[in-house]
Amino acid sequence: MAFDMIQQSSANFDARATGAKIDMLVLHYTGMESAEAASHRLCAPAAKVSAHYMIDEQGQIFALVDEDNRAWHAGLAQWEEKTDINSCSIAIELVNPGHEFGYRDFPEPQMNALISLAHVILARHPIAAHRVLGHSDIAPLRKTDPGERFDWQALAAEGIGIFPPKSLIQNMVSPNNSPLDHDVLRHEMKKFGYFIENGQENAVISAFHRHFRPELLNKSPDSTDLAILNWLNAVKT
């Protein structure tokens, strides 16, 4: 698939860990006031942060770090047993002011460019659908991006990532009087890949809601969350 890409090299990378295999795609938002400011930071040596690609709101793709190298994007993070997320992932930054500077929807040209780029990345690397994640999924205590306005369902409809169909979610809704077993909820979250320690459950629930049920953000988990997690764990490959 051909698309326009601008080479804009970042100095912020190093070698992937010996033996590391690329098996994750992590999506971020830039969280800065402009694309120019984000590009400068992602390329400036003093910032010590980068991504493999950046996509602006007009759909222009910028190549910053070669996929063979380790970009510095995840920070302190974990998914399943892995803590060196940078060594096993490809990172894409989506230009968006983020929650600090006026969070807004991701426009169609940007999403279309992301879909095109992601298809190329997934063709090159064995990345399972359940390992296409947001920064908030792998670092729920610190990060909220790409956030609740990001359309994960649209991405999954294009074969990128995993998301339960709306009809399936509606059929999952349990009676209001069904008690929620929080121990089972934690178990299913861990099984899917979220890292949970004591005191982290609320942050992880928020990350889960941002990704799969944004309408429930800042609300308590319910039995439908558990049903969705059961489905995710059943279908992940």
- Cα 85 from chain centroid? 12
Residues 6+ apart with CB under 8 A from 151: 106, 111
> Quick check: bond before 146 cis, omega within 30?
yes
% of the chain surpassing 90 pLDDT: 88
Q: Interhelix angle for 201-212 vs 182-192, to 10°?
A: 60
Average pLDDT along the chain: 94
SS3 203: helix
**Pair 226, 184: CB distance under 8 Å:** yes
Confidence of residue 175 (pLDDT cuts 50, 70, 90): low
What's the predicted TM-score (pTM) here?
0.95
SS3 237: coil
User: Which amino acid belongs to residue 216?
Assistant: L
Per residue in 22-36, pLDDT tens? 999 999 999 999 999
Among the listed residues 114, 42, 111, the one whose alpha carbon sits nearest the alpha carbon of residue 71: 42
Active site residue 188: no
Task: List, in sequence order, every residue forming a beta bridge with 55; answer none if it has no partner.
Answer: 61, 94
**Which of these is catalytic: 57, 93, 148, 188?**
93
Mean pLDDT of 176-186: 81
Structural domains of the chain sorted by starting position, each given as residue range(s) with its CATH number in brackets? 5-157 (3.40.80.10), 166-235 (1.10.101)
Least confident of 66-70, 122-126, 166-170: 166-170
